[in-house]
A and B are shown apart, each in its own frame.
Chain A
Amino acid sequence: SYELTQSNSVSVALGQTARITCGGDDIGSRNVHWYQHKPGQAPVLVIFRDTNRPSGIPERFSGSNSGNTATLTIVRAQPGDEADYYCQVWLGRTFSVLFGGGTRLTV
């Protein structure tokens, strides 16, 4: 079965760049979406289909996807960026949806 692998945690200094990765077999051939989830709140879509940013999401957030790794990049990290970040793909053949295990970002 398909698996998505994320690091448990990433720490970044204030104002620096955070990179959160999502590994999967040939993930570059799939659409990857990223969600930010803070405790007690609804998850928020921050990147969809690899590189696209929904309206209202700061330009500091960007995404890439190639080969076996998708990456969410947050430049000029702020305290408000502290959250759990999840990658997600749709497994078209089985019509199921898969989330990565999540990465806790600490600024």
Chain B
Amino acid sequence: EVQLVESGGGLVHPGRSLRLSCVASGFALEDHAMHWVRQTPGKGLEWVSGITWNSEKIVYVDSVKGRFTVSRDNTKNSLYLQMDSLTREDTGTYFCARDRIVRSSSWYEFDSWGQGTLVLVSS
């Protein structure tokens, strides 16, 4: 069974940092592009970042460029999101999601999602 489990969320002061993790099981993480998607209070889903299966392409939404860094450790079947200089606008639930097509140079549909981890940025 494919499973994604996020962790690392919590309460953090503005300007501070947080590192999210996503552990995959039931499939080989190394074969898939992976993404981080967030849902902010009262708003919908927002794609945050994506990384190709081979880490050759890493992309961010404009609002987090220069502050967030996505990475993966295929040996640990894990995906990470380092979030620096956090602002209140970053508050929300963060999901990791799997891109369905293996070893692709393009991105497609997200066929598996974790339950999410809550990030609360507040003083």
Contact = CB atoms under 8 A, between A and B. Distances in A.
Contacts of A84: 44
16 contacts: A31-B108, A31-B109, A35-B110, A41-B115, A42-B95, A43-B113, A45-B109, A49-B109, A88-B45, A92-B106, A95-B107, A96-B47, A96-B59, A97-B107, A98-B47, A102-B45
Contacts of B107: 90, 95, 97
In the complex, which of the residues A84, A97, A99 has the most CB atoms of chain B within 10 Å of its own CB atom? Answer: A97
A31 B101 CA distance: 14
Contacts, number: 67
Given A96-B47, A96-B59, A97-B50, A43 B109 contact: no
B111 interface: yes
Given A42-B95, A94-B59, A48 B111 contact: yes
Given A31-B108, A48-B100, A99-B44, A42 B50 contact: no
B46 A99 contact: yes
B72 interface: no
B32 interface: no
A62 B110 CA distance: 17
B57 A95 contact: yes
Interface in B33-77: 35, 37, 39, 44-47, 50, 57, 59, 61
B92 interface: no
Interface string B85-115: 0000000000101001000001111110111
